Structure formats: structure tokens, C-alpha cells
């Protein structure tokens, strides 16, 4: 069976988006870790950081399933939420494994209400209790990070120079540390100004990424909690900037661009479950 897809990206973080809702004209699409990883492979598949499947939702306008490049299904992806918001247009409520979020598309970009931040050690989750604002742990020169769950788990290190950190080497070590029973996304951030930070992210199940929307949310929220910046916060990623607004007890509002790359089809039988 031929399956239609769109290739999209948010600041270079790229997605295969399959609209499997009845109104799209596509039949339901079965997805597994094996099939998702094969489609995400850049040499023998279509290639992407994440594969997105849109389905009907009893709780929102649409259900968004998110598969990382390694095939793992995850709870949230901020850049993908903006891409889906652009695809669907207007105001949308989007169901994810991390909860229901809301997007609003406009001529200047897509704003996504990512919901509340959670800071409890068991919300991240961590393997045991500790202060998540100043964690008494470290990996080589990366020490005393902060952690937050913004729909998925993040740990962020505030460092003098994010560009100087060998995140390609340390990222997978931290991601898979037993402290994080569901693995973790790893960010290194540098404060550039009163409301401005630079961020690099090692994304769980993906690797180094040009942009990570939830990572930008995590870094901004944790920088605000530590009183390192005031909001709204501009977060510069390798792929470009995002704006993050958050106040204590409120939800996280992320605003930034998304774009179409191309459309195509693939033969479902060529990618077995």
C-alpha cells in the first residue's frame, strides 16, 4: 500500500509526518519501532530525526504519535508540535503521550502551549530523590545540573561556553546513566544576556540535533528558576532561535518557525513491522 507523507522541519530538526486520519484520505498506518527506525534511516529510508503519525483523538483535535530515529516512541517534541500546528493551521489541541498541548499558527510562526513544567524527582523521573534545581551529580566537568519534565525528561548544565563541551561524547553517557530510568535529553546552556541563552542538545534516541523545542523550554524554565535570566527568553540553537515564555505555576509558551520541505509516498510493504 502506498502511504503519503510530508517532510517538514523546525529550525532544521526534521520530521516525516504521516496524516493517518480518515479525513486526510490515508488509511490507518501501523507503526512499530522497527518500521519507524527504517523510515528514519537517512541512507536507506526517507530520513528524519523524528517520525510523526497523526491519528484521530477522543480528547483533542488530533493525536500526535512521536517516534525517535531509533524507533522509540516518546512523549513530546516541541518542534514537531509546531510543524503539526503549521500543517493543520489555525488553533489546534494536540494529544501526545505527555498530555494535551495547544498550537496556534499565524503568519509569523507557530505558538505552542506546552503545558506545565514538572520538577519533582519522580516526575523527571530520577532513580532516587534529590534536589532537581541543583543536582549533586556530575560527569567530568559537567556538574550540578538541573532537571525538569516538560512532557519528556531533560537535564540541563549551565556552562561558561556551550560550544566548548564535547556533547557528542558526553551526551550518550549521561542519556543512558542509571540515574535516569527512562533515559534523558541532555542540554548544555550558556547565558548570553539578561533574557538570552545559547543551547546545544543531545536528544534521547536521536543524538546531537540542530534544534530541540522541548530542550529550549527546559533550558529557559530552569534558567528562570535559577534567576539567571528574565523572561521571555530567547534560546539560540544551532538551527536558529526560539522564544520561551513561562511564569512560576503557569504553562510554557514556545514560539518559533516551522516549514515544509517536500511531499512524497512510500510503499508500506517495503518497511515491514
187-239 tens-digit pLDDT: 999 999 999 999 999 999 999 999 999 999 999 999 999 999 999 999 999 99
Of 174, 233, 153, 249, nearest to 199 by C-alpha is 233
Distance CA 139, CA 251 (A): 31
pLDDT at 42: 97
pLDDT at 25: 81
Low-confidence ranges of the chain (pLDDT < 70): none
Of 68, 61, 69, 66, nearest to 81 by C-alpha is 66
Grid coordinates of 167: 556533547
pLDDT at 27: 81
Which residue reads 515544509 in cell numbers? 260
Beta strands per DSSP E along 69-140: 73-74, 91-96, 99-106, 109-116, 138-139
Domains of the chain from N-terminus onward: 2-113 (3.10.310.10), 116-256 (3.10.310.10)
Grid coordinates of 61: 483535535
Of 86, 78, 88, nearest to 106 by C-alpha is 86
Q: What is the pTM for the complete model shown?
A: 0.92
Distance CA 222, CA 224 (A): 5
Distance CA 36, CA 97 (A): 17
Choose, from 53, 77, 110, 191, the residue flagged as catalytic. Answer: 77
Whether 48 sits among the annotated catalytic residues: the reply is no
Choose, from 102, 212, 216, 242, the residue flagged as catalytic. Answer: 212
Amino acid at each position: 500500500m502506498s502511504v503519503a507523507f510530508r517532510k517538514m522541519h523546525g529550525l532544521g530538526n526534521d520530521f516525516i509526518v504521516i496524516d493517518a486520519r480518515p479525513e486526510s484520505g490515508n488509511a490507518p498506518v501501523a507503526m512499530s519501532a522497527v518500521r519507524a527506525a527504517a523510515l528514519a534511516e537517512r541512507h536507506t529510508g526517507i530520513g528524519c530525526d523524528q517520525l510523526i503519525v497523526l491519528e484521530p483523538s477522543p480528547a483533542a483535535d488530533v493525536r500526535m504519535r512521536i517516534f525517535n530515529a531509533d524507533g522509540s516512541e516518546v512523549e513530546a517534541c516541541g518542534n514537531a508540535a509546531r510543524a503539526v500546528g503549521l500543517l493543520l493551521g489555525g488553533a489546534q489541541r494536540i494529544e501526545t503521550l505527555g498530555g494535551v498541548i495547544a498550537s496556534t499558527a499565524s503568519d509569523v510562526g507557530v505558538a505552542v502551549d506546552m503545558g506545565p513544567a514538572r520538577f519533582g524527582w519522580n516526575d523527571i523521573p530520577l532513580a532516587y530523590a534529590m534536589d532537581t534545581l541543583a543536582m549533586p551529580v556530575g560527569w567530568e566537568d559537567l556538574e550540578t545540573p538541573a532537571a525538569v519534565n516538560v512532557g519528556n525528561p531533560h537535564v540541563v548544565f549551565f556552562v561558561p561556553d556551550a560550544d566548548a563541551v564535547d556533547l557528542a561524547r558526553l551526551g550518550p553517557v549521561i542519556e543512558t546513566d542509571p540515574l535516569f530510568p527512562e533515559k534523558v535529553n541532555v542540554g548544555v546552556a550558556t547565558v548570553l544576556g539578561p533574557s538570552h541563552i545559547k543551547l546545544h542538545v543531545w536528544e534521547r534516541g536521536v543524538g546531537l540535533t540542530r534544534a530541540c523545542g522541548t530542550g529550549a523550554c527546559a533550558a529557559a524554565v530552569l534558567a528562570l528558576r535559577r534567576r539567571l535570566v528574565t523572561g521571555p527568553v530567547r534560546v539560540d540553537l544551532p538551527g536558529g532561535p526560539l522564544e520561551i515564555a513561562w511564569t512560576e505555576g503557569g504553562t510554557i509558551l514556545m514560539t518559533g518557525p516551522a516549514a515544509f520541505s517536500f511531499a512524497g509516498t512510500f510503499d508500506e510493504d517495503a518497511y515491514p513491522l
